Structure 1
Amino acid sequence: MSPHKAPDSSRRSDRSRRAICDAALSLVGEVGYARTTIEGIAARAGVGKQTIYRWWPSKAAVLMEAFVDMGTRAAEADGTAGGGEHGIPDTGDLAADLGLVLRATVDELNDPAIEAPTRALTAEGVIDPALGAQFVENLLEPQLQLYVTRLRAAQEAGQVRADIDPRIALELLIAPLTHRWLLRTLPLTHEYADQVVDLALRGLLVQP
């Protein structure tokens, strides 16, 4: 008989952590952030609530890690683990590249699995400055840097005006989508994303 091996506590903890993250995401999607509780997350994950309190200070912190973890697992499934982000394509056609990414952003923001936790974290980040800073650092900043990189490449290729600050320019692309999504004033569509790209590039591109 093979010798009995003690349970691997680190692996057991990781399974529990992932179960808690999955439970948090699913509950927020089902009942909303306000009605999601630590007790509910613990029950859904099959752990004691003290386990959650031992690892996270609040349900917002649980949701933050769950959202980051969801992105990490998606990257692993796509074979991009270790590389971080997919990046914005550089085909030489800036309008097409940005349009592709903004359309994908529209799809993500309209996906209930992503929309619910994003809205919750955005709202909590306004109330809790520390959480808001973490939200920006862990979730927003990596995405914004992709735009900066792509716009700088377009500058170097002589397509975008040299006097443009890519950090400011990216807001012409991201802010309209975010504004419409937050206020729910009008539908967030691919057609709208295409118009945003067209209007923004009129001010960014080198004119012939």
Structure 2
Amino acid sequence: MTPNRARRNETSRRAILTAAFELLQETGYAKVSIEGIATRAGVGKQTIYRWWPSKGAVIFDAFLMLSEGAEGEPPTLPDTGDLAADLTAVLRDTVVEMNDPRYEQPMRALATEIAHDPELAAVYAERLDGPLKEAKRQRLRSAQRAGQLAEDVDLDVAVDLIWGPLFSRWLQRSGPLTAGYADRVVSTALDGLRPRRSGA
């Protein structure tokens, strides 16, 4: 009986997350409700509340389901030995993701909820943001060992310096988010982070 129950639970869970994501695309976050998700998924509200404490938590898991592999192996960044090329590739991919209509609604919804829900913010930090930041630090740490970054660079600040401008521009809609902008962010950041050469 247990395997069948587990299978039913997983089927219901995926139906709920799919329903949440579909409604988010169709109506926008403000109009999505637990009742609407339950109706679309064909489950009772109590089933949703048994697994998630809030609408924001459901949307977060729906976003993770969309982001294939987000909860699988720990994330890693490319390390070809060319820091500028690796960061440029990663930031360009980030631009594509942020401009993808499938991702924009859930990401904006999550940003809003995280700002007002400390519990969801903690879950987000533990399950997604924290592992991503560690992957970024590891790539920069590798560059430090290769002499491509100054040994005394604060890696947490460096991560914010490299990735922060993209998120800020996207969140505030303060300018076009393009591959060219990502390229400029990388070149500007690395010009300030590279070790100083004596006599230069």
Structure 1: give runs of 5+ residues left out of the alignment.
none
Specify the alignment match of 1:29 in structure 2: 25
Correspondence list, 1:56-205, <5 A? 56-71=52-67, 74-75=68-69, 82-85=72-75, 87-205=76-194
Counterpart of 1:43 (choices 39, 42, 49) is 39
TM-score (norm 2): 0.92
Structure 2: give runs of 5+ residues left out of the alignment.
none
Tell me by how many angstroms 1:54 deviates: 2.2
Q: 1:6 to 1:128 in 2, by over 3 A?
A: closer
Runs of 4+ in 1 over 3 A off after TM superposition: none
Deviations 1:30-81 (A, max 9, x none): 211110011111122121222112222211111122222333xx229xxxx8
How many aligned positions are there?
197
Alignment RMSD, CA only? 1.8
Instruction: Tell me if the contact between 1:16 and 1:45 (Cα under 8 Å) persists in the aligned partners.
Output: yes
Deviates more, 1:91-100 or 1:21-30: 21-30
SS at match of 1:75: coil
Q: 1:127 to 1:91 in 2, by over 3 A?
A: same
Instruction: Tell me if the contact between 1:122 and 1:132 (Cα under 8 Å) persists in the aligned partners.
Output: no
Instruction: Tell me if the contact between 1:91 and 1:97 (Cα under 8 Å) persists in the aligned partners.
Output: yes
Counterpart of 2:11 (choices 11, 15, 27) is 15
Specify the alignment match of 1:55 in structure 2: 51
TM-score (norm 1): 0.88
Sequence identity percentage: 52
